[in-house]
């Protein structure tokens, strides 16, 4: 039993399961992870690492940073921004789930704990222990990134900014019983009927991106 990592029966019964941990802390539970995006640079392709955080109860997502080669100093600066008492995404969090990437250093963990956020590393090679983050990455790739060619970091920031706005405000989520994360105000009319369907473009092509960048 010791070789298999199993505790004696009395101890094993007192330990909480992962499902029970989720249910107990869902209101203030967040998760984070990285995913890589290949972008076209001036002379060759560039691999950009995107760091994001997701609130499990609401499914709201936040892109915390993008960098070619993230390091410990950059991660600590990102943590400070996430803990900002005014608009930091983790200002109300108590637990943060993450994998065992070496970038999640002891200094990074200590900085988060100073802001009241306890880090919860998942077992090695266990992505199913962080399913909400994995689902967000898959959704972002299927609905946005895999459909487009990314031209550099600035273009990637534009794509992710538009996708996250759609994800948080306009996309219906099956995990929330087909509800919106941050629903906008409903149209106000006298007869209670919806007006004519209106549409807006989130990603109007590369030319539209360069026009916005030049404005």
Q: Is the pLDDT of residue 92 over 80?
A: yes
Residue 174 pLDDT exceeds 70: yes
Query: Which of 7-16, 85-94, 122-131, 173-182 is least confident?
Result: 7-16
**CATH numbers and ranges of domains, the chain:** 24-185+200-214 (3.30.420.10)
Please tell me which residue, 138 or 208, carries the higher pLDDT value.
138
Q: At what angle do helices 206-214 and 152-169 cross, to 10 degrees?
A: 100
**Range scoring the smallest mean pLDDT among 16-20, 70-74, 137-141, 169-173:** 16-20
Q: Kindly indicate the confidence band of residue 201, based on its pLDDT and cuts at 50, 70 and 90.
A: confident
Q: For 210, list phi and psi in degrees, rounded to 5.
A: -70, -30
> pLDDT class for 199, splitting at 50, 70, 90?
low
Q: How far apart are CA 72 and CA 108, in angstroms?
A: 7
Predicted pLDDT of residue 203: 79
Higher pLDDT, 114 or 196: 114
Q: What is the pLDDT of residues 57-81, one digit of tens each?
A: 999 999 999 999 999 999 999 999 9
Residue 176 per-residue DSSP state: G
Report the pLDDT value the prediction gives residue 3, as an integer from 0 to 100.
62
Q: What is the pLDDT of residues 111-159, one digit of tens each?
A: 999 999 999 999 888 888 999 999 999 999 999 999 899 999 999 999 9
155: number of Cβ within 10 Å: 18
Do 27 and 45 contact (CB within 8 A), yes or no? no
Q: Answer whether 0.95 is exceeded by the pTM.
A: no
For residue 126, the model assigns a pLDDT of 87
Taking the CB of residue 52, how many other CB atoms lie within 10 A of it? 22
Q: How many CB atoms lie within 10 A of CB 95?
A: 18
For strands 45-55 and 61-67, give the pairing.
antiparallel
User: CA-CA distance, 69 to 154, in Å (whole number)?
Assistant: 16
Q: Answer yes or no: are the C-beta atoms of 32 and 2 closer than 8 Å.
A: no
């Amino acid at each position: 039993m010791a070789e298999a990592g199993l505790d004696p029966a009395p101890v094993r019964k007192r330990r909480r399961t992962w499902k029970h941990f989720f249910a107990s802390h869902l209101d203030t539970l967040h998760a984070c992870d990285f995913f890589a995006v290949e972008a076209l640079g001036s002379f060759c392709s560039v691999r950009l690492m995107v760091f994001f955080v997701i609130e499990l109860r609401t499914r709201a997502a936040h892109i915390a940073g993008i960098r070619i080669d993230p390091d410990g100093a950059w991660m600590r600066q990102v943590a400070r921004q996430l803990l900002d008492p005014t608009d930091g995404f983790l200002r109300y969090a108590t637990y943060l789930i993450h994998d065992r990437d070496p970038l999640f250093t002891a200094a990074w963990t200590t900085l988060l704990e100073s802001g009241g956020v306890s880090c919860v590393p998942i077992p090695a090679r266990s992505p199913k222990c962080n399913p909400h983050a994995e689902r967000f990455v898959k959704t972002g790739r299927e609905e946005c990134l895999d459909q487009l060619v990314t031209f550099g970091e600035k273009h990637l920031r534009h794509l992710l900014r538009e996708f996250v706005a759609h994800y948080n405000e306009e996309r219906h989520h099956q995990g929330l019983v087909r509800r919106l994360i941050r629903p906008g105000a409903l149209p106000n009319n006298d007869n209670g009927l919806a007006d004519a369907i209106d549409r807006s473009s989130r990603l109007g092509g590369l030319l539209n991106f360069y026009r916005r960048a030049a404005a």
